[in-house]
Amino acid sequence: MKKKKVFIALKMSGIAGQEKLAGIFRYLKEEYADSIPWEIQLVRTQGELTQGTVERAISGGTDGFIVSIPDTEDAVIPLADMTTPTIIMDIHSSALAKRKTNIAFIRNSADEIGSEAAHFLLRQGISRSYAFLHSAPITDWSRARFESFKRTLNDNGHWCEEISDPAAIAKLKRPVAVLAANDDIAFDAIKTLSAKRIRIPKDIAILGVDNDTLICENAQPRLSSVQPDFGKEGHLAAEILDQMMNGAETSSRTVLVGVTRIIQRESTAEQSHAGLLVQKALAYIDRHALEGIGVDDVVQHLNCSRRLADLRFRELQGTSIMQTIIEKRLDEVRRRLAGTKEKIDAIASACGFDNSNYLKNLFKKRFGMSMSEFRKGTNPSNPCFFKSIRPDENEVLAPLR
């Protein structure tokens, strides 16, 4: 059987390209054992991937393309008018986006990266401020990760600052938890902040993305990082390309791949007794806020004095236990208003409010609109449009027992 010519362009200097290539070969081994029917041309760097390189591959009778080298949108333009099976990984190309057949876009899920990172940092229970540190210049993928990170924090009652300069992090109210767009940016941030004698993670906790071990293990302190499933991206790229080259013509599609895990190292690892206490309180509130609990219930669960619980909560969260309970309840109120047809009285009762009139007044004060107005104006596919309203850190939202 004649081998198919396959052009593979991966940035091999980082962990992403290496794991994608490993995923490609894993598919080939699983499917074909030692009789791999591909003749592979491997391009490893941005400098090697040019329009000329791609055009020569096309004229040479290449049967399929897998391309995943950042900032090479111009180089892949010759593929826009072709029908040759093509897989594009983690590259945004307006020219290729118009192509209708025999093309698939595989990307790591910015939504999952941002969401998992936010939940991880929230579980630390030690931060008063949160920020996202962008790539420079700000890219589409950096923006998408920020939006998901911010949305998840907003859903949990926290604000998120958007930053492009690491030095700006030092101006935020500490302790701060930061998600950097990737490990390179996180590494540079650690160097910048350490030079200012800022303690990491005690003052500022930093989380990267990619889990590039060469970077993470050599940062000082070592860098915690979100690990996207690059291996699965590569495996899917090979599988879909193989199907296309074997006659399964398909229309354009996009496949999103999630996160495997978050590797915790010293840049986020420190947890004081106070941090653990707050983390325990947040977990209890998360489970029981809708059951009508009050501050006394949380304090009893913590088995400490109310004064100590309030002090530690304000110290590390910048808000009160009472306000956190109310924010959790309001999150559920908004979800039900946007996604159900329940009556407001029923929603109030289900969310731990004894008095629906009190809830109506609280909701309008908090979000600047009535519950009915919110329900009418909410798009069910995007019920979080209102989350840009920043809560007043000094406002006491409700008297609880």
CATH code for residues 110-227+263-269: 3.40.50.2300
Beta-bridge partners for 39: 5
Average pLDDT, rounded, for the chain: 87
pTM score of the predicted model: 0.70
Give yes or no for a contact between 107 and 81, defined as CB atoms under 8 angstroms apart: no
CATH architecture, range 4-108+229-258: 3-Layer(aba) Sandwich (3.40)
Calpha distance 306→55 (Å, rounded): 71
**In the structure encoding, which two tokens stand for residue 213, read together?**
């071990």
Peptide bond before residue 137 is cis, with ω within 30 degrees of 0: yes
Beta-bridge partners for 68: 10
Look at residues 248, 242, 291, 214 and name the one whose alpha carbon lies nearest to residue 36: 242
Q: What does the pLDDT average to over 180-200?
A: 94
In the three-class reduction of DSSP (H, G, I as helix; E, B as strand; rest coil), residue 239 is classed as helix
Look at residues 48, 25, 47, 52 and name the one whose alpha carbon lies nearest to residue 38: 25
Please report the pLDDT score of residue 272 as a whole number: 64
Q: Which residues contact 189 (CB under 8 A, 6 or more apart)?
A: 133, 166, 169, 178, 180, 206
pLDDT tens sequence across 219-277: 999 999 999 999 999 999 999 999 999 988 778 889 999 999 898 898 996 556 777 78
Q: What does the pLDDT average to over 363-368?
A: 86
pLDDT at 390 over 60: no
Residue with more model confidence, 95 or 206: 206
Residue ranges of the domains in the chain?
Answer: 4-108+229-258, 110-227+263-269, 273-388
Give residue 378's pLDDT band: very low, low, confident or very high (50, 70, 90).
Answer: low
pLDDT at 379 over 60: no
Q: Which residues contact 387 (CB under 8 A, 6 or more apart)?
A: 151, 154, 155
Looking from the CA of 51 toward its CB, the CA atoms found within 13 Å total 5
Please report the pLDDT score of residue 321 as a whole number: 92
Look at residues 87, 130, 381, 344 and name the one whose alpha carbon lies nearest to residue 234: 87
Residue with more model confidence, 151 or 274: 151
Give residue 41's pLDDT band: very low, low, confident or very high (50, 70, 90).
Answer: very high
pLDDT tens sequence across 252-267: 889 999 999 898 898 9
Give residue 136's pLDDT band: very low, low, confident or very high (50, 70, 90).
Answer: confident
Peptide bond before residue 380 is cis, with ω within 30 degrees of 0: no
Q: What does the pLDDT average to over 47-60?
A: 94
Helix, strand, coil share of the chain (percent; to 5): 50, 15, 35
Residue that is written with structure tokens 């029908």 in the block: 83
Please report the pLDDT score of residue 400 as a whole number: 34
Residue that is written with structure tokens 């959790």 in the block: 328
Calpha distance 39→184 (Å, rounded): 33
Calpha distance 232→280 (Å, rounded): 35
Q: Do domains 4-108+229-258 and 110-227+263-269 have the same CATH topology?
A: yes
Give residue 73's pLDDT band: very low, low, confident or very high (50, 70, 90).
Answer: confident
**The CATH number of domain 273-388 is 1.10.10.60:** yes
Give yes or no for a contact between 140 and 166, defined as CB atoms under 8 angstroms apart: no
Calpha distance 172→158 (Å, rounded): 14
Q: What does the pLDDT average to over 387-399?
A: 37
Q: Is the dihedral of CA 148, 207, 72, 104 positive or negative?
A: negative
